Structure 1
């Protein structure tokens, strides 16, 4: 996704890298060097906690059994203040999708080759280990959290990729507000978080890769809120191999009617990010029934499309003839 232009007055752009991707922060006045350093240090600390690509991150050390066990044999991960918001979101997504969104599915991605070394080589015997169906630990059975402390029953790889980037964007927005930046547009590698006086016109791009060319297929206008996208071609490394899994089977979503691209609009970037992924494995109505307040548009492999009933009220448009759901 991309904003057609920075909203009026937000002419200063700070380019940075986070979560292994290029980000941009648009503000009315330049972000001073000292504040940039402070924000980058906080982003680095976030990745030291959550990144499954950093060998010494907290989640990697927990997965490798390198954290001390509690007297009852569990493994406690002391997370940064505010992490309960992300953990609560995963509790809700896991329940609303019948376990098909699961932070412990990171082990499945590793087995399929999307590992810390980016080997993109499927491990021997992966088919017998993938997913909850083959006994991979699940969020509901293996994890619980007490406020900001995550507790695992056994070593397991926690992967917050479905909503973690959006959560970091929300944190960055909060840090900007602490520094008295009341208006901003955060472009988190294509996921956008907006807070400004004038609506921003955002283009929804068709997925790249097979049959996709990055052409704009819709628009959303937002002055406050977030819009996030997910697509099967964004991180793909072989026939039928991409990063959006059904955590029950541990396999990438597929099928003639499977979702191939989704966009979600919500109040927070974490929710929009998580819901854009959840739409691949759950019916939109079931997510609404779980009390997620959101709008969406999606494209399926058979060429059909769907949007939420209130999509046009945002206002937003998908340049096709979609069915209206939810």
Structure 2
């Protein structure tokens, strides 16, 4: 295969190893990632979700307190439909803990557009699905201020979209890795190390991934202050405490990414029974739980 294509985008490092990757295809990949970011990023003031969220401030300035009573609708690109369906499933399975409406909760903790990493007051729960906001197909409708954050599954979706570009270009062997969320296709399995949530210079095990996706989620990569990190419970707006890292192997990266987040709230055995995936979670006291596929690879 060619030398890997490496670059930074959407706040993470991309590493793409693909046979027959041309400059034209590489440029198409970069354009698609930027297009995705221009829709979904809450860290860009010019993105569609950011501009939609700022609309409530405009409504308030026009006389409606906090935008109250002003129902607003956001129509999103085609990739929103499967993403919204997955979010609804994970929301229901977790009792509301996993939600795409958690953006303002993260901002309150300091994980804001300027990366201030300074809390702006007590934690706040996310708007309630169905009461305050609703995501159906490509449309999000809300009657109160909402800032979308698709960090639970969005990066996995983008990995899948990039893989689609490679397949459409006739590339049949590739590994696309976006900061630990990856998807593989080809005759030779990829051996992937599992980074320790307690020491990023060490691995706690290794797994082989072949024609599947692997996603990881953890509290150590985006952490600041005492006990503050980006994995929050939508019911409370508070960072989770019990689980510190999770991994899922699934047929596609969006599902793997979403389920890796869900593992912080839903028993892995329940997710495995529903989706037929492999899973591993590491708890704050150091013990691990998971499917045999992962446990066999632990050191």
Q: TM-score, normalised by structure 2?
A: 0.90
Structure 2 equivalent of residue 116 of structure 1? 113
Instruction: Please give the secondary structure, in 1, of the residue aligned with 2:159.
Output: helix
Match of 2:98 among 98, 101, 104: 101
CA distance in 2, matches of 1:155, 1:301: 34
**Aligned-pair CA distance for 1:150:** 2.5
Alignment of 1:68-107 (within 5 A): 73-107=70-104
Paired residue secondary structure (2:211):
strand
How far, CA to CA, are the matches of 1:123 and 1:300 in structure 2? 28
**Which range moved further: 144-153 or 54-63?**
144-153
Structure 2: stretches of 5+ with no match in the other structure: 60-68
Question: Which of residues 246, 259, 268 is equivalent to 2:233?
Answer: 246
Tell me the alpha carbon deviations over residues 272-317 of structure 1, each in whole angstroms, 9 at most, x when there is no partner.
111111111222233345x2221111211112111124546xxx51
Deviation of residue 66 (structure 1)?
A: 6.3
Residue in 1 aligned with 2:255?
A: 271
1:196 and 2:186 matched: yes
Map 1:226-265; keep pairs closer than 5 Å. 226-254=213-241, 258-265=242-249
Q: Is the 8 A contact 1:218 1:317 kept in 2?
A: yes
Residue 29 of structure 1 and its aligned partner are, at CA, apart by 1.9
How large is the RMSD of aligned CA atoms in angstroms?
2.1
Q: Which runs of at least 4 in structure 1 moved beyond 6 Å after TM superposition?
A: 66-69
Matched, 1:168 2:125: no
Alignment of 1:119-158 (within 5 A): 119-124=116-121, 126-127=122-123, 130-131=124-125, 136-158=126-148
- 1:212 counterpart (164, 177, 199): 199
Query: Which residue of structure 1 aligns with residue 64 of structure 2?
Result: none
In the aligned structure 1, how far is the partner of 2:262 from the partner of 2:269? 12
Q: Which SS does the other structure have where 1:224 is aligned?
A: coil
Q: Conserved in 2, the CA contact under 8 Å of 1:62 and 1:155?
A: no
Structure 2 residue 297 is the aligned partner of structure 1 residue 317: yes
1:59-70 superposed matches below 5 A: 59-65=49-55
Give the whole-Å Cα distance in 2 for the aligned partners of 1:294 and 1:141: 32
Partner of 1:323: none
Task: Find the counterpart in structure 2 of residue 280 from structure 1.
Answer: 264
More strand by share: 1
Which region of structure 1 is more displaced relative to structure 2, 280-289 or 78-87? 280-289
Per-residue Cα deviation, 1:10-57 (whole angstroms, up to 9, x for no partner)? 34311122211110111112322x332222122111111100000011
Matches within 5 A, 1:10-21: 10-21=1-12
Q: Quick check: 110-119 or 229-238, which moved more?
A: 229-238
TM-score by length of 1: 0.83
Partner of 1:5: none
For 1:214-251, what per-residue CA distance to the aligned partner results, in whole angstroms no more than 9, with x for missing partners? 31111111111111111111111111111111111110
Q: CA–CA distance in 1 between the matches of 2:199 and 2:259?
A: 22
- Distance (whole Å) between structure 2 residues aligned to residue 165 and residue 240 of structure 1: 24
Change (3 A) 1:55 1:280: same
After TM superposition, give the deviation of residue 143 of structure 1 in Å: 3.1
Alpha-carbon separation, structure 2, partners of 1:196 and 1:177: 11
**1:6 alignment partner in structure 2:** none
Match of 2:63 in 1: none
